[in-house]
């Protein structure tokens, strides 16, 4: 498989990249190093310094070459601090919501069939039952949680285009 991992220089993303590489997949990483680290990047993966919140990043000939033939996008790129999201909600929205929307649009434009979105339990707020079930009541209590819920909803909207 040909895979893209957004946020592939972060802790979780880099571990996913390592597993995909060890399983013999071609892996492409999009990261802007806002929270990821160069030392986390698997040398067998192709790395591209991409800020997914900038829509124009996806309109170039280079991006067409990168994304053509991709089978799946694992979308892990996000700003993740609940507390920080309260102080800078616009920045969180730009990265987490516009970044997700830009990736979904790019998947449609370049005919990527599978998009795997990494959400958060924060969309449930303070759950009344443990473990929390996916059909539990949603109650986002921070801009970060709302961003993740919006990402889930955008994924639902775009699923008709990725069949």
Tens of pLDDT, residue by residue over 110-138, are 999 999 999 999 999 998 888 999 999 99
92, 110, 124, 144: the active-site residue: 144
Query: Is 92 one of the catalytic residues?
Result: no
- CA dist 20 and 102 (Å) reads 23
Residue whose token pair is 């996913």: 16
CA 151 to chain centre: 9
Each residue's pLDDT tens digit, 25-36: 999 999 999 999
Identify the H or E element spanning 64: helix 61-67
pLDDT at 163: 63
* pTM, two decimal places: 0.94
- Across the chain, mean pLDDT equals 95
pLDDT at 75: 98
pLDDT at 161: 80
Which domains can be identified in the chain, with CATH numbers?
2-162 (3.40.50.720)
Buried b (16+ CB within 10 A) or exposed e, 133-152: eeeeeeebebbbbbbbbbbb
């Amino acid at each position: 498989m040909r895979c893209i991992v957004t946020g592939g220089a972060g802790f979780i993303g880099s571990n996913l990249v390592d597993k995909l590489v060890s399983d013999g997949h071609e892996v492409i990483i999009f990261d802007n190093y806002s929270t990821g680290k160069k030392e986390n990047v698997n040398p067998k993966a192709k790395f591209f310094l991409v800020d997914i919140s900038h829509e124009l990043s996806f309109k170039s000939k280079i991006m067409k070459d990168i994304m053509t033939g991709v089978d799946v996008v694992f979308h892990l790129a996000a700003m993740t601090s609940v507390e920080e999201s309260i102080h800078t909600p616009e920045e969180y929205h730009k990265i987490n919501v516009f970044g997700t929307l830009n990736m979904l649009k790019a998947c449609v434009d370049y005919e990527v069939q599978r998009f795997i979105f990494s959400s958060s339990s924060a969309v449930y707020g303070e759950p009344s039952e443990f473990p929390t079930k996916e059909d539990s009541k949603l109650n986002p209590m921070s801009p970060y949680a709302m961003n993740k819920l919006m990402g889930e909803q955008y994924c639902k909207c775009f699923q008709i285009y990725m069949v």
